Amino acid sequence: MFVNSEQALPSWHFWIDRGGTFTDIVAWHEASSELLTAKVRSEDPGRREDASLAAIRAVLGLDDSADLRSLGAVSIRMGTTVATNALLTRSGVRTAAVLTKGLGDLLILGDQSRPRLFELDISRPPPTWDLVIEADERIAVDGQVLRPLDEDQLYRDLASAREAGVEACAVALMHGWTFQQHEQRVVEVAREVGFKEVVSSHEVCPLQGLLGRSHTTVVDASLTPTLQDSIRAMRATMPEATLEFMQSSGGLTAAEGFRGSRAILSGPAGGIVGAVAVAGSMGNIITFDMGGTSTDVAWHDGTFHRRWDSKVDGIPLRVPMLDIHTIAAGGGSICRFDSQRLRVGPESSGAQPGPACYRGGGPATVTDCHVVLGRLDADLLPTVFGPDRTQSIDPDASRASFSAMAEQVRASGRSPMSIEQLAEGCLRIAVERMAGAVRKISIEQGRSLDGVTLVSFGGAGGQTACLVAEALGIRRVLVHPHAGVLSALGIGLATPSLSTERTVSCAIDSDEILTSFKDMESALHESLVQEGVSAEEASVHRLVHMKVAGWDGSIPVEAGDPHTMRETFLERARRRYGLDLKEETLVVAMLELRISITTRKEVPGFTPMGDVMPEPDRFVKTLFKGQCHETGIWNRKDMPSSTTLEGPAIISEEGATTIVEPGWSLSCREDGCFLLEHVHQEDHDQDHPDHHVDPVLLEVFGHRFMAIADEMGAMLRRTAHSVNIKERLDFSCAIFDQSGHLVANGPHMPVHLGSMDHSVQSVLAAHRDDLKPGDAWLLNDPYHGGTHLPDLTVVTPMFSESTGSLQFLVASRGHHADIGGITPGSMPATSCSLEQEGVIIQPIRIVRDGMLDEALVRGHLTSGPWPARNPDQNMADLRAQLAANTRGVEELRRLVLEFGLPTVQAYMKHVMDNGESCVRSLLPKIKPNSIEVPMDNGSLIRLQLRLEGGRMVFDFSGTSDQCDTNFNAPPAVSRAAVLYVLRCLIDDDIPLNEGCLRPVDIIIPEGSLLNPNSPAAVVAGNVETSQCVVDAILGTVRAQAASQGTMNNLTFGNDHYQYYETLCGGTGAGPGFDGTDAIHSHMTNSRLTDPEILEARYPVRLERFAIRRGSEGKGRFKGGCGAIREIRFLQAMTVTLLAGRRRFVPYGLEGGEEASGGLQCVLRSNGGREDLEASASVEVFEGDRFLLTTPGGGGFGRSS
């Protein structure tokens, strides 16, 4: 239970953060105001008790034989990784998930997107559940019981699971978050059967959204018993202790109420609370918590920001978490040389074996960089290393690890590098990765870095804080005297709290808001009474989450009168989205109630010692930016509050080291906090000759170029208006050199990425002499650089501000919801000429001197025989694309300012050279081959792969002539397919760029299916033919059997509703791997709308969404299965399908068998069945069902 103000205060308070590498503890003795800190290794094979108990022993100086019960009634507050580790290792208790019949595969299928774009052997996250039970029941979105719960069958299924040793049961039924009767009955039956841990989704996550809610419920059921076991073990050792635990939301809870789903960010949340407390009135801050395995960053602007949708190890969770972003870069990030570039992370050495210097035989890491450079002295770390955990770090091991790397660089034929150069280069790369993550987060949240203070903590934070701040243009860094254990201190400073959330759907002036808050508050007050907390000790916070009608994303505002809430929302929306939404309909999506409990605690501050600034304890030789310095080392406890220092300097303290870089100053505040300020900007070396390729800068620029494109994508998503772009993520962004060659892209749509340079070069070819600063150009014409008409591309040139010469170009492409044409959504099944597919836009200048010519754009959108149906939405999304391009230009200018134009241009070339080199490394593995891929429309893709003069030749001669249907594909599509396959074969994290195609020739006969003449229709070429081209290329290199080979484009609507989705299928098997079931493959990766949200927005019912088992191609390695999707219509609508691989099914390779093709039909309400072609349009009526089964993937190799 909570410690309240009426209870006697304990003598010792222990605040513990159990991290991945170290466990930190702060011990405060209230009577004496004594404050102690300690660190222990989180994992120690020779230790029998938990790290938390070992930390208590360490901080009090007790040996293993001491009985901790003798401490009596102490208070323990903890942040723990027990639940996190159990989730990451899938070591929770065995769990059964009970889902609505027809949707039992939802936990596997997710939103159908694959986690990594260029992975042929697709890896889904391992399951957190052991089996799924489909409950035969169904409640409609309005609460109508469509099918009563079959309790008899449920009992049999649950009993069978229990007999098989399944320990926990998670219940998540369709619309069960609000209509709870079936979930409640399943819980009762599960308990009757003998399950001890039974969790219902409406209790743990009463929010709309079945996918996130069901995963959250499963995680809670699986992890909570493990968590409670660890709590019981601690209680057994310290039975009189009061135990409270930090939740991911930033509030404390009593041990008995600590749930697995609320514990995932337990430790990091303490760091945010601590950082905010020590920053005080410094304004906007970014917290920077760098540990051994990762770095956590978060924004704070006077409010703790929380999010309700997160992914942890690939598992979507819907619980309140502080908005913390984790970067896979920490002190343990592994450094390596890959024959061309220096690489840092994302792999980590972990707690075992740890960095090389930890005496465990580990690899070179970021920590070793600091050791080699003299920035981290052996005397500055505790003596907890080596086999007996009593030794200091081993600097010789650090140097040896980089000596081995230096030998690898020399053997590669590159210019030799010293171990110091390598260490400094790796450190620079790590800093760049961390700074890039902060930039992206800031863009996503619509925040400026101007005037921000970086609050640094964590065991490794002070070592790199100045460097990261400098990379971000941040001029102030705050370092607390207990920065090394600030997460633990924050846990001690946190406030106990209870919270609840409720999904609603109402107007902002609805009485439902007040009524719901009253119900929610009443329920929480009952919990407070049980905890012995009085109403006077509780403060209530009410938040109303508002959104634009039809959007998913919401913004929380403080509950109040409707006018104030509306104005607050509009102001916050302008900041976050860059949009003026005053004309939009606003609705309430969720209510949040949080009750915080006032507790009595007075934590002593840190008092600096002495009045006179001491001399350094000693001097060490340290390397900063290539220059050797005699750097003083001071002990923090000896430094008075009047301390001022000019960098370089090293400050040591228990648990952390702070490095003051050259050009930075340090002053000590009265509370003992160090304020580091950037007082002198170092001149950047802007002279890197073209002929010398620095492996450090090659990695830095490769990452920075990709990061710029990624930041453009973040800006586009944030400011877009349509569901297609904002939520389905059907967009792409990229940067180009002055000739229009692709330099780098963000991780967006593959079909876009290899074809956007055709758009850019089309603008250059027609208008190079007419390009001006402040311009932006728009096009979608497939015969002038586009792919299909819904994909609108905006191109922005960047000019030198001094000479006026063209330097670079940036571009963004978005799939617009409608661009006209003969059917809504601009994806007609029966178009036979381009104009039937929508408005055709050849390159036009839409921005001149920075001013958008809206009249010109609207004139084009409303022209032609079938104009765009919603020009306002087109304009809104185009403004978002312009904002994305502007961001790209700004970041490129910043890059030029930092490095100089010659260097940036040189490394654009070097990055493309690196892409070329990676592709050339494939040549010895490629063998000449040929393939023929027939399509359902009677066309044939013929491909011959040849090797000629050290080049790969992809020759599509013999491919069918262009067709009368819309499956024609512009040449840019085939080029994108080649580039995509090459990037998959490289299997390395390089920018997708023009260099990859330098050793490649692509021959496509004019007038063919893959190079049609205007005005042939092309809408299916981009989404359907592209998939078959990829299969053909992968088939010739024998890398993968055919995947489903289609995107299954499904559109339905009427005068009031329009909906578009693409649907997943099976992927092909390959040498050494099976295909993957029901997931998006190759040229698309769009998301599906959640089932509950789909039914709430549209008059349809999702009857079934499942894996189509048995549809895979057999073989030594089997293909993936397709999917089944069955939708019942509750109103009359038109359904349009654009698909393939029905007649000619996905083929196997090397003796593997073909997969099943797709099928589609309408099941009429009168019992009739109407089979449809792959490309079809059909009228459906109330009660009719549309059944779609998608193809599987082909097998690879003969079955044994």
The per-residue pLDDT for range 767-809, each reduced to its tens digit, is 999 999 999 999 999 999 888 999 999 999 999 988 889 999 9
CB 398 within 8 A of CB 313: no
For 833, how many CA atoms within 13 A lie in the half-sphere containing its CB?
5
Phi, psi angle pair for 523, to nearest 5°: -65, -40
244-260 burial, b for 16+ CB within 10 Å, e for fewer? bbbbbbbbbbbbebbbb
Structure tokens at 1077: 């079931």
The pLDDT of residue 301 is: 84
- Counting every residue written for the chain, the total comes to 1200
The pLDDT of residue 283 is: 87
Q: Residue 5 — very low, low, confident or very high, per pLDDT cuts 50/70/90?
A: very low
Q: Please report how the helices 419-444 and 695-719 are oriented relative to each other, as an axis angle in degrees rounded to 10.
A: 0
Domain ranges of the chain: 103-209, 333-429, 497-597, 618-668, 695-901, 1041-1200
Flag whether pLDDT at 688 surpasses 60: no
pLDDT digits (tens, 9 = 90+) for 1005-1023: 999 999 999 999 999 999 9
Q: Residue 681 — very low, low, confident or very high, per pLDDT cuts 50/70/90?
A: low
The pLDDT of residue 426 is: 94
Q: Which residues contact 286 (CB under 8 A, 6 or more apart)?
A: 297, 298, 299, 300, 438, 449, 452, 453, 454, 455, 474
Q: What gap in Å lies between CA 278 and CA 672, rounded to an integer?
A: 10
Q: What gap in Å lies between CA 386 and CA 381, rounded to an integer?
A: 13
The pLDDT of residue 537 is: 67
pLDDT digits (tens, 9 = 90+) for 338-383: 888 899 988 888 777 889 999 989 999 999 999 999 998 888 777 8
Q: Residue 641 — very low, low, confident or very high, per pLDDT cuts 50/70/90?
A: confident
Q: Look at 212-221, 669-678, 736-745, 807-816 and tell me which has the smallest mean pLDDT.
A: 669-678
CB 1073 within 8 A of CB 121: yes
Q: Look at 170-174, 291-295, 664-668, 916-920 and tell me which has the smallest mean pLDDT.
A: 291-295
Q: What gap in Å lies between CA 920 and CA 926, rounded to an integer?
A: 10
Judging by DSSP bridges, how do beta strands 674-678 and 476-479 pair with one another?
antiparallel
Q: Please report how the helices 756-767 and 971-986 are oriented relative to each other, as an axis angle in degrees rounded to 10.
A: 130
The pTM assigned to this predicted structure is 0.88
Q: What gap in Å lies between CA 492 and CA 478, rounded to an integer?
A: 20
Task: Identify whether 556 is preceded by a cis peptide bond (ω within 30 of 0).
Answer: no
Separation of CA 159 from chain center: 39
Gyration radius of the chain over CA positions: 31
To the nearest whole percent, how much of the chain has pLDDT over 70? 96
In Å, how far are 961, 1147, 1180 from 931, measured between CA atoms? 17, 11, 40
Judging by DSSP bridges, how do beta strands 929-934 and 791-799 pair with one another?
unpaired
Structure tokens at 677: 């300020």
Q: Which residues contact 278 (CB under 8 A, 6 or more apart)?
A: 455, 478, 480, 486, 671, 673
Flag whether pLDDT at 602 surpasses 90: no
In Å, how far are 485, 740, 749, 944 from 796, measured between CA atoms? 47, 11, 20, 37
CATH class (in words) of the domain with range 497-597: alpha beta
Flag whether pLDDT at 6 surpasses 60: no
| E strands in 1020-1156 | 1049-1053, 1058-1061, 1100-1108, 1122-1129, 1133-1138
pLDDT digits (tens, 9 = 90+) for 805-834: 999 999 999 999 899 999 888 889 999 999
pLDDT digits (tens, 9 = 90+) for 1040-1086: 999 999 999 999 988 888 888 999 999 999 999 999 999 999 999 98
pLDDT digits (tens, 9 = 90+) for 64-99: 888 998 888 899 999 988 888 888 889 999 999 999
Neighbouring-strand partners of residue 1058: 1053
The pLDDT of residue 964 is: 95
Q: What gap in Å lies between CA 839 and CA 864, rounded to an integer?
A: 6
Q: Residue 533 — very low, low, confident or very high, per pLDDT cuts 50/70/90?
A: low
To the nearest whole percent, how much of the chain has pLDDT over 90? 62
End-to-end Cα spacing for the chain: 61
Q: Which residues contact 480 (CB under 8 A, 6 or more apart)?
A: 274, 275, 278, 455, 457, 486, 489, 606, 672, 673
The pLDDT of residue 530 is: 62
Structure tokens at 621: 């030789």
Q: What gap in Å lies between CA 1040 and CA 1196, rounded to an integer?
A: 7
Separation of CA 85 from chain center: 19
Q: What average pLDDT is seen over the chain?
A: 90
Structural element, H or E, at residue 760: helix 756-767
Give the neighbor-by-neighbor strand order of the sheet with 1000-1003: 929-934, 940-948, 951-955, 1000-1003
Structural element, H or E, at residue 976: helix 971-986
The pLDDT of residue 643 is: 83
CB 918 within 8 A of CB 996: yes
Flag whether pLDDT at 168 surpasses 60: yes
Q: What gap in Å lies between CA 624 and CA 1106, rounded to an integer?
A: 57
The pLDDT of residue 335 is: 94
Flag whether pLDDT at 583 surpasses 90: no
